[in-house]
Structures are given as structure tokens and as C-alpha cells.
Amino acid sequence: MAAPRPEDADLVDEALLGSCTGVARGQRGEWVETLAVRYEGVRRAVGEGGGGRRTGAWFTGAPEVALLLDRAMPAAPGTRWRACDPACGTGHVLAAAGDRLRTCGWTGARIARALAGMDVDPVAVAIVRVRMAVRFGGGLAAWRRAIRVGDALATGAWAGARFDAVVGNPPFLGQLSARSARSDDERRDRRARFGGAVTRYADESAAFLLLGTELAPAGRVVLVQPCSVLAAADAHGVREGCAVTHALAEVAMLPARAFGAAVRTCIVSLHAGRAARAVARDEAGRAHAVPAGRLSGGRWGAALASVRGVPAVAIAGRGGGTLGSLAAFEADFRQHYYGLKGRVREARGAAPARGERALVTSGAIGPASLAWGERPTRIHGTDRRRPVVRAADLSGDPVMEPWHAARSGPKVLVAMQTGVPEAWVDATGRTLPSVPVVSVRPRRPADLWKVAAAILSPAVAAEAWWRHGGSGMSPGALRLSARDLAAMPAPADARAWARGAWALRAWQRTPASASARRAFAEAMCDAYGVPAGAARRTLSEWWDAAVARAARTAHDAGAARTI
């Protein structure tokens, strides 16, 4: 993408101001406000219409702007208070901030010195300059100094400028799409600018958080973010980098599809120094305290766990031991998915024949249940109801034959993108996992059901939310990697754990049985040292409701099967 040219904005703002003078004085404000809104729509349509690089820009409505400024601005700003919007678009946040300053008695030239903005789009910059000059006065020259054309994340973009608040709605640009990924030059510049904190696949919006902590080292950073930034592994370096100078003070959830965004969004508020506590707010604005210590290590997803009412219980691990010490947790990759292309067949009977193994997709796995064969699933562009793979079809393949051998034994299959961990025990080795299913192979065969019981336990479900809330594609889902699962604590009480493993066998034989499910939960609460009483009831009821919902969803098309 060509570098933005500041002189383009200078030419356009002169033309716009000239056009504005031809409008009746009383209507100029409305004229430029309408222009700003309409241009946002044009910019959005061009960026998302397939005709070039996506902008990742969203129109920020008045309700969202008010929420941002309520968190970023003091009621009575001091005489030297300054703020910036580093991705200002046509200036909705800056204009509303100026309105608040004007109610405090500030005039045009003073407002222009207090507010700053930047955007890569010269036309947007020209519009916001004229908008601010018409709305507040102060002259076009003052607003040219305040609102500039440029890449806010680029090295040297701010020349040592410092602010009391950084506020706005930066562009959401995922790095897996060619139309929104950074260019080679931008990747090199981000690396030079932020070191390893901004990884190759971190959303561009996350980098603005880190920028904000640099521009407001003693102030506040208040930015709209996709909820994935709270827990995504690719944004971990950003969260850790922010924690050097700022603490997460609040996460405020925004309604679904706020300002048209296709992903769930929130407002992240960072305060310089060490916050005494963090607050998470749901869509209705209700506050939920985030327990102390849960945000350590850049685990901002704990805010989502708090909003969702996940019980915060202390669990007893086995002397610091993890599930990874008992089993290998393995995720497969694209090469394994595409390596099966042309080799997936439809089983002729209700179960795999000799020499065949059922290919299990994530959607077929439920809590202690498997729905293979009950509804079609799409694999390599073809709908399959009973997909199977024959060992003979992989013979001699240097990648797929060893993979088949490694995955053919007894194992636990764990689904992705679920509300609580969902897993099923393949005790006979009749299945193969389809990406992105995680396979868990115990180091000792005797531990197969024990490891599965720990993964499915209420304690691990809650702990997963506090550690990785927000990691899924929706705020109601978790995406636990093989590494995340392996890092979960192993139960402290060996006898209770053994009871839990036997209870899981009974539950998997009758996955629809509420009594079997609850007996399993009780045993595993004992295994993890969850004290009897109110804490256990709260955890068990939360888990039981989540598992019951998952079971209904997983088996709407039919009952679970044994293969």
C-alpha cells in the first residue's frame, strides 16, 4: 500500500472549507457532519467490497463514543489535559470529546491544543479538520497541526508526543487474510517499533493498545477491541507489554454486532500503574469484580469469565503436577487434513468395518459422548455421515501412514470451540481425529479414563475459563489448545480421582443420564478438593447446566453411539 501523503489532506481540506463557506452559516455544521457520516460509509464499502485492501474501519456510533469518553475523560479536565485518537477516521470521538471540553468552558484554539488525531486516509483527515474547525473554531491551521495523515503505528509517527488519554476505535485487521494482512514493509516496521510483542498474526487493533501505553505513559488507554484480543495467543506479547506500565482496569462488553462489526467487541480500559482491582461489565452495564490475581500473566480473558458468572473456586492440584505429565496432548495440522483428501470414504454399515477407522470431527464430540454417524459433516467439500479411513489407503505415505499408526490406539478426543471442555474416550482405538480435534494419549494405559475425567471435570472447566476466556470464536466458547489442556492441574486426591474415572465410564455408557453425570461431578469435585457446601453447589450447578446445554446441542440429530 502506498504511503499516505499529508499534502493530499491539505488540498482536500482547503476545498472542503471553500465548499462549506457556500453553505448558509447556520447549516454548515449539519453539512459537514453529514459529510463525515457518509464518507465513513463510502470508506467502509470500498474497503470491504473486494476492491482492494480492507480498511478494518467501523462507524463508531454515539452510544459507543459516549462509553469510550466516560472512561477516558475526567469530568473536569485540567488545564493541560490532552488526548488523542490514533485512528480517528472522520472524527466522531474527537468531535464528542471537543463537545465535552466546550461544556467545561474551553474555546476553539484551546480545544485544538488539547486534542490530536491521526489516520492513514487523507480524505478522512481533511474531513475531520474541517469538521472540528466549523464546530469549535480555532482556525484550519490549528487543526492541521492537531490532526495529521499517517500510520499511527509506524516508527516516528508521534515524535515524542505524550497524552493523558488515548481513546478510539482502531481498525480490526486480522492477519490470516491476504486483504487485511500487513505488508512486508509494515511487518518489518512493527518488529522494529515493538520488538516481538506484536507477532505476525496479532490483530492490528491489539498493537494500538501497546501504542497507547507509550503515548499515555501516566494516563489512560481506552480502545474498542475484538474480544479475541483478551485471550488470543497471538496477542499475548501485547498484553504482557502493556502490563509493564499499565494495568487492566475494566473490560466493558458491547452488544452483538455493535456498529456493524462481525465479531464480538468490548472496550478495554488500561490505567497507568497498578489498579487495585479490575471490573468487567456485561452488555447491560452491570459490574462484575475480577478476583485478584486472575489477570496475572496477561490473562485478560478472566474478565469474560467474570461476566459469564463462572465460579471462582480454588482447586487443589497434585503438588504442581499437570495433566501433561500423564499424557501426550497432540493437535494435528493442515498437512494431515489435506493428506486425507481423496482417502475418506463412507462406511457401508452402521460402524467401521475391519481395517477402517471412523474419522471424528469436532462437532461429533459431546460431553462423554460421540455422535459419529448421526448427522452429516462436511469434509473436503463433501457431506459425509459415516466418514471412515482405511489403513490400506495410507500405506506407503511418508506423512500419513505414521500419523495413522500414532492415532490408532486408545485415546481421548477433545472438541474445539465449546462452552466447557467436551471429550470422549476411544478405549478401543476405533477412531481417527479430524483437525482441529485434540488427541490425548496417556503414557500409561491405566490412566486413560483418569485423564479424560480430569479434562471433563467441573474444576478444569472453570479453570479453563479463568485462564482462557475469550479464546473461542464467540465469547461463549473456549478454544483450548493442546498446550492449554496439558497445563491444567492434575487432581490432588488419587482415590477420589479413581472414583471419578469409574464414574466417567458409567456416564459415557449412558451420556443422557443426568444422575450419571452428577455422580461423576461429585467424585471429581472431591478429587480436586472443592469444599462441600455453597462453593461446590455453585460450581456443580454451573457446570451441569453448561454440559446439559452442550449435550442437547450435540445430539439434536440423534442419540450418541458406541463404535
Domain membership of residue 281 (yes or no) is yes
- Residue 25 located in a structural domain: yes
Do the domain assignments include residue 560?
no
For residue 512, tell me if it sits in a domain: yes
Domain end (from 122, 137, 166)? 166
| Same domain assignment for residues 121 and 208 | no
Please check whether residues 268 and 227 belong to one and the same domain: yes
For residue 505, which amino acid is it? R
Q: Could you tell me which of 287, 64, 57, 74 has the C-alpha nearest to residue 172?
A: 57
264 and 146 both lie in a single domain:
no
Task: Please report, in tens digits, the pLDDT of each residue of the chain (563 residues total).
Answer: 456 677 777 778 777 877 877 777 778 878 788 888 888 777 766 655 554 444 445 667 889 999 999 999 999 999 899 999 999 999 999 999 999 999 999 998 999 999 999 999 999 999 999 899 989 998 889 999 999 999 999 889 998 899 999 999 998 754 434 344 446 666 677 776 777 667 655 678 889 999 999 999 999 999 999 888 888 878 888 898 999 999 999 999 998 766 666 678 899 999 999 766 789 999 999 999 898 788 877 788 889 899 989 998 888 777 779 999 999 999 999 999 999 999 999 999 899 999 999 999 999 999 999 999 988 999 999 999 999 999 999 999 999 999 999 999 999 999 998 999 999 999 999 999 999 999 999 999 999 999 999 999 999 999 999 988 877 777 678 889 999 999 999 999 999 999 999 999 999 999 999 999 999 999 999 999 999 999 999 999 999 999 988 877 655 544 455 55
User: Does 78 lie in the same domain as 52?
Assistant: yes
Look up the domain containing 516 and give its range: 328-554
Report the CATH number that the domain containing residue 186 is assigned in CATH.
3.40.50.150
> Of 412, 355, 346, 342, which is closest to residue 373 (Cα–Cα)?
346
Q: Does a structural domain hold residue 57?
A: yes
One domain, residues 535 and 449: yes
Query: Does residue 457 belong to any structural domain of this protein?
Result: yes
Last residue of a domain, one of 166, 193, 216: 166
- Closest by CA to 430, choosing from 488, 347, 363, 500, is 347
Report DSSP letters for 521-560, one per residue: HHHHHHHTTPPTTHHHHHHHHHHHHHHHHHHHHHTTTS--
Total domains in the chain come to: 3
Instruction: Give the three cell numbers for residue 460.
Output: 478444569
Angle subtended at Cα 384 by Cα 381 and Cα 388, rounded to the nearest 5 degrees: 110
Please check whether residues 158 and 45 belong to one and the same domain: yes
Query: Would you list the DSSP string of 95-108?
Result: HHHHHHHHHTT--H
Give the cell for residue 80: 493541560
Q: Give yes or no for a contact between 144 and 49, defined as CB atoms under 8 angstroms apart.
A: no
Residue 84 lies in a domain: yes
pTM of the model: 0.82
Q: Where are the beta strands (DSSP E) in 443-530?
A: 489-491
At 470 the pLDDT is 76
3-state secondary structure 256-313: CCHHHCCCCEEEEEEEECCCCCEEEECCCCCEEEECCCCCHHHCCCHHHHHHCCCCCC
Within this chain, do residues 270 and 181 fall inside the same structural domain, yes or no? yes
Q: Evaluate whether residue 561 is within a structural domain.
A: no
User: 223 near 267, Cβ under 8 Å?
Assistant: yes
Residue whose C-alpha is closest to residue 214's, from 186, 242, 188: 242
- pLDDT (0 to 100) of residue 392: 94
Q: Are residues 38 and 151 in the same domain?
A: yes
399 shares a domain with 531 = yes
Alpha helical stretches, state H, 369-426: 391-394, 400-407
228 and 196 assigned to the same domain: yes
Q: 190 and 95 in one domain?
A: no
Question: Residues 163, 215: contact at Cβ < 8 Å?
Answer: yes
Residues 375 and 506 in one domain: yes
Domain boundary among the residues 249, 278, 309 is at 309
Find where cell 490532552 sits. 82
